[in-house]
């Protein structure tokens, strides 16, 4: 089993419980796959729910790193401890996603400890001592082979050698502890067992929906594009879709020059068009009567070459430019199914579907203006205005604006050159 945590090579990571940030466990899995490819294997409970029928089946699962979020089952935690897997906190995965590279876990920042609040099924020890081989006073710990790091010296364990409870040891008042014996009030302590009060909890496979994933409803609804069946079918055509790309600054904030830009923003990839990723903002509010319409931008894929290669090899969508004459299938512009108006401050491309077409195509702004005249810009600007963006200026309006700006410069007059010239001549004569 790999022990080198300085690189992702040969690691198998199991994610469980509630993770940090927005998105589902499936989103996190896809993010790690895009970052590290086949170098690291990622497992989420949804992948194994059909294979794990009882607690013993967990032993057949291969993993060496567990990222234990809030409400991770105690059964899974115990299994990770028994196999001496590395147990990390969700903040480690969040840092990996934010930095877009492997982060070597730090003992005091990223490692799970038994007294952490992330364990929702934590058992409270009230049994005093537990056999020979490690003590667990009031509120103490008596692990199952896991060394709890000392906060002052992380290399020195606090739970004795191995932290196990011996065979036949006594534990608390009125409870003896041998192989499979009982300990204290309701607690059990056998070979390597735990002592203390048992909380009433069900095994993950006994919970509704298998009990593996505990996610807030608002997180599962974050990406509105996943809820639309037409868009979902489009994303599902690409292996492991939907694919996302994290941009340093939100394109809208970069264009507007706002003082408080949204940083490290994750956007959904619609497809590749020429030298750009066509991306959409997953936080776009859904238009009830235009359910496929999203806020969209063009970003150069040369800034994300590794991602572009992986997206392409996964049969990622290559958006095709369509002829302007194809728009004549629409007797009126409202019949066109707008998916997005992708903009980068200079180039504007319209993505959408014609009536009876199975896949979206790409048209330029001028293509629409050829068929629908000035109404095209009115439609585009109405859409952009609803999304909080400035209007797209026409070339004519730009020329008028340039002339007006130049006129403003002409209005600011100073002293005549003749006055200054006379002064210089008089000075020379003196």
Query: DSSP string of 200-214?
Result: ----GGGSGGGG---
The alpha carbon dihedral of 252, 226, 215, 81 has a sign of negative
Half-sphere exposure of 314 (CA within 13 A, CB side): 23
Tokens of 282: 């997953």
* Total Cβ atoms within 10 A of residue 191: 14
Counting residues of the chain whose pLDDT is more than 70, the rounded percentage is: 63
The answer as to whether 409 is a domain residue is no
Same domain for 77 and 160, yes or no, is yes
Going by DSSP bridges, is the β-strand pair 65-68/86-88 parallel, antiparallel, or unpaired? parallel
**CA-CA distance, 403 to 397, in Å (whole number)?**
10
* Total Cβ atoms within 10 A of residue 241: 20
**Contact partners, residue 317, CB within 8 Å, separation at least 6:** 234, 237, 238, 270, 271, 272
Q: Three-state DSSP class for 404? A: helix
The answer as to whether 296 is a domain residue is yes
Given this model, what pLDDT does residue 158 score?
Answer: 37
Same domain for 297 and 246, yes or no, is yes
Same domain for 173 and 245, yes or no, is no
- Boundary of a domain, candidates 182, 210, 238: 210
404: confidence class by pLDDT, cuts 50, 70, 90 = low
The answer as to whether 342 is a domain residue is yes
Q: Which residue has the higher pLDDT, 194 or 298?
A: 298
Of 7-16, 183-192, 350-359, minimum mean pLDDT range: 183-192
Q: Which residues of 121-146 are buried (b: 16+ CB within 10 A; e: fewer)?
A: eebebbbbbbbebbbbeeebbbbbeb
368: confidence class by pLDDT, cuts 50, 70, 90 = very high
77: confidence class by pLDDT, cuts 50, 70, 90 = confident
The answer as to whether 422 is a domain residue is no
Same domain for 249 and 185, yes or no, is no
Instruction: List, in sequence order, every residue forming a beta bridge with 276; answer none if it has no partner.
Output: 273, 300
Is the pLDDT assigned to residue 189 strictly greater than 60?
no
**CA-CA distance, 276 to 308, in Å (whole number)?**
10
Q: Which residue has the higher pLDDT, 53 or 186?
A: 53
The answer as to whether 136 is a domain residue is yes
Counting residues of the chain whose pLDDT is more than 90, the rounded percentage is: 24
- Boundary of a domain, candidates 175, 210, 245: 210
Of 369, 288, 286, which is closest to residue 327 (Cα–Cα)?
Answer: 369
- Boundary of a domain, candidates 210, 241, 267: 210
Average pLDDT over residues 268-283: 92
DSSP string, 347-394: -EEEEEE-TT-SS-EEEEHHHHHHHHTTHHHHHHHHHHHHTT-PPPPP
For the chain, how many structural domains are there in total? Answer: 2
**CA-CA distance, 390 to 9, in Å (whole number)?**
47
Asked whether the bond before 242 is cis by omega within 30 degrees of 0, the reply is yes
pLDDT in tens, 99-150: 888 999 887 777 876 544 443 333 333 333 334 344 444 444 333 333 333 3
Given this model, what pLDDT does residue 106 score?
Answer: 87
The answer as to whether 6 is a domain residue is no
Given this model, what pLDDT does residue 249 score?
Answer: 92
pLDDT in tens, 152-176: 333 333 333 344 344 444 344 444 4
Specify the length of the chain in residues: 430
Structural domain boundaries, residue 275: 226-386
Strands (E) across 119-240 are located at 182-183, 187-188
Is the pLDDT assigned to residue 221 strictly greater than 80?
no
Same domain for 161 and 248, yes or no, is no
The answer as to whether 63 is a domain residue is yes
**CA-CA distance, 182 to 188, in Å (whole number)?**
5
228: confidence class by pLDDT, cuts 50, 70, 90 = confident
Average pLDDT over residues 239-268: 89
H helices of 133-277, in order, are 217-220, 229-236, 251-256
Q: In what helix (H) or strand (E) does residue 299 lie, and over which residues does it extend?
A: strand 296-300
210: confidence class by pLDDT, cuts 50, 70, 90 = very low
**CA-CA distance, 25 to 31, in Å (whole number)?**
10
Same domain for 29 and 139, yes or no, is yes
Instruction: List, in sequence order, every residue forming a beta bridge with 362; answer none if it has no partner.
Output: 321, 351
What single DSSP character describes residue 411? H
Given this model, what pLDDT does residue 419 score?
Answer: 62
The answer as to whether 219 is a domain residue is no
Same domain for 251 and 200, yes or no, is no
Same domain for 112 and 181, yes or no, is yes
Given this model, what pLDDT does residue 430 score?
Answer: 62
Q: Which residue has the higher pLDDT, 387 or 402?
A: 387
Same domain for 192 and 233, yes or no, is no
Of 24, 23, 41, which is closest to residue 32 (Cα–Cα)?
Answer: 41
Q: How high does pLDDT run on average in the chain?
A: 72
H helices of 238-362, in order, are 251-256, 305-313
Same domain for 202 and 249, yes or no, is no
Q: Which residue has the higher pLDDT, 278 or 387?
A: 278
Average pLDDT over residues 237-251: 89
Given this model, what pLDDT does residue 50 score?
Answer: 74
Same domain for 78 and 133, yes or no, is yes
Same domain for 102 and 37, yes or no, is yes
Given this model, what pLDDT does residue 408 score?
Answer: 62
Given this model, what pLDDT does residue 295 score?
Answer: 92
């Amino acid at each position: 089993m790999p022990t080198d945590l300085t690189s992702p090579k040969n690691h198998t990571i199991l994610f469980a419980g509630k993770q940090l940030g927005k998105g589902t466990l499936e989103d996190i899995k896809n993010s790690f796959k895009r970052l590290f490819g086949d170098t690291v294997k990622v497992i989420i409970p949804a992948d194994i729910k059909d294979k794990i029928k009882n607690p013993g089946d967990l032993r057949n699962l291969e993993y060496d790193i567990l990222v234990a979020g809030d409400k991770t089952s105690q059964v899974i935690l115990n299994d990770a401890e028994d196999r001496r897997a590395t147990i990390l906190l969700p903040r480690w995965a969040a840092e990996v996603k934010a930095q877009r590279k492997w982060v070597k876990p730090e003992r005091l920042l990223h490692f799970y400890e038994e007294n952490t609040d992330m364990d929702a099924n934590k058992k409270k020890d009230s049994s005093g001592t537990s056999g020979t081989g490690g003590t667990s006073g009031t509120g103490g710990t008596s692990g199952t082979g896991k060394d709890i790091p000392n906060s002052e010296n992380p290399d020195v364990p606090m739970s004795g050698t191995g932290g196990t409870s011996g065979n036949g040891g006594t534990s608390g008042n009125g409870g003896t502890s041998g192989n499979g014996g009982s300990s204290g009030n309701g607690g059990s302590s056998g070979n390597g067992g735990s002592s203390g009060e048992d909380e009433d909890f069900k095994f993950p496979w006994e919970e509704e929906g298998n009990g593996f994933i505990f996610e807030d409803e608002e997180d599962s609804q974050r990406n509105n594009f996943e809820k639309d069946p037409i868009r979902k079918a489009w994303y599902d055509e690409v292996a492991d879709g939907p694919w996302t790309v994290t941009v340093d600054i939100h394109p809208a904030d970069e264009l507007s020059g706002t003082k408080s830009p949204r940083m490290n923003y994750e956007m959904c990839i619609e497809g590749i068009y020429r030298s750009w990723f066509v991306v959409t903002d997953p936080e776009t509010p859904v238009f009830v009567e235009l359910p496929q319409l999203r806020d969209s931008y063009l970003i150069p894929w040369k800034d994300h070459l590794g991602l572009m290669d992986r997206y392409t090899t996964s049969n990622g969508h290559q958006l095709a430019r369509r002829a302007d004459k194809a728009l004549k299938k629409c007797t009126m512009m409202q019949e066109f199914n707008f998916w997005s108006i992708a903009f980068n401050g200079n180039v504007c491309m319209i993505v959408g579907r014609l009536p009876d077409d199975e896949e979206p195509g790409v048209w330029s702004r001028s293509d629409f203006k050829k068929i629908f005249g000035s109404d095209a810009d009115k439609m585009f600007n109405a859409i952009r205005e609803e999304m909080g963006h400035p209007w797209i200026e026409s070339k004519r309006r730009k020329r008028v604006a340039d002339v007006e700006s130049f006129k403003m410069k002409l209005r600011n007059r100073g002293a005549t050159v003749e006055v200054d010239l006379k002064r210089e001549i008089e000075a020379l004569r003196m």
